[in-house]
């Protein structure tokens, strides 16, 4: 009953804020509510406050005591939804698939998977030395074990 009430408030607020989407919702013992959000243009502090206020103001602590934490997905958090990949097109990613790590620029994100591109040094086909070649790899979401944006300073 309590969980359904929180989810209904969350869904209504998400519908009113279409650029924001839910990454994770947890209701731990003792009614500890944890909500993680992301957005097509990021999530601001005000976005977190909006969601927090809607839930706080529509639940009665006299009926059911609870604690609430609303947060945005961190910059180094792994991506879990296709929508997160789409908002990060053009950025550098580290992708682990079948136990192998790849680093490259995210050039495409569809509903089925992503395309990563990078440059690599390889031996020349003929003769000595190396040449720089453009590499491209397509990953379906089900093959991605973990993917994170690479933060460069």
Q: How confident is the model at residue 72 (pLDDT cuts 50, 70, 90)?
A: very high
pLDDT band at 36 (very low <50, low <70, confident <90, very high): very high
pLDDT of residue 68: 95
Answer whether residue 10 is part of any domain.
yes
97: containing domain: 82-149
Number of domains in the chain: 2
The domain that holds 37 is classified in CATH as 3.30.300
Question: Quick one: 63 and 94 in the same domain?
Answer: no
How far is residue 48's CA from residue 54's CA, in Å, rounded to a whole number? 10
Q: Taking a C-beta distance cutoff of 8 angstroms, is the pair 93, 116 a contact?
A: yes
27 and 62 together in one domain: yes
Could you read off the pLDDT of 102-144 as tens digits, one per residue? 999 999 999 999 999 999 999 988 888 899 999 999 999 999 9
Residue 76, pLDDT score: 79
Query: Among residues 130, 134, 114, which one has the least CA distance to residue 122?
Result: 130
Query: What does the pLDDT read at residue 141?
Result: 96
Q: pLDDT digit string (tens) for 10-22?
A: 999 999 999 999 9
Averaged confidence pLDDT in the chain: 93
Q: Which two tokens stand for residue 7?
A: 């989810």
**In the predicted structure, residue 75 carries a pLDDT above the cut 80:** no
Whose tokens are 């992708």? That residue is 95
83 vs 153, residue with greater confidence: 83
Whether the Cβ atoms of residue 23 and residue 36 lie closer than 8 Å to each other: yes
């Amino acid at each position: 009953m309590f969980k359904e009430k929180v989810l209904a408030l969350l869904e209504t607020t998400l519908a009113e804020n279409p650029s924001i989407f839910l990454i994770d919702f947890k209701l731990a013992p003792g009614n500890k509510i944890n909500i993680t959000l992301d957005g097509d243009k990021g999530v601001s502090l005000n976005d977190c406050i909006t969601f927090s206020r809607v839930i706080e103001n529509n639940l009665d602590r006299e009926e059911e005591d609870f604690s609430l934490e609303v947060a945005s997905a961190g910059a180094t958090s792994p991506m879990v939804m296709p929508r997160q990949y789409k908002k990060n097109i053009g950025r550098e990613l580290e992708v682990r698939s079948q136990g192998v790590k790849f680093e490259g620029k995210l050039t495409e994100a569809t509903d089925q998977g992503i395309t990563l591109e990078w440059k690599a040094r390889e031996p020349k086909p003929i003769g000595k030395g190396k040449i720089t070649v453009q590499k491209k790899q397509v990953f379906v979401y089900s093959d991605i074990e973990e993917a994170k944006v690479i933060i460069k300073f």
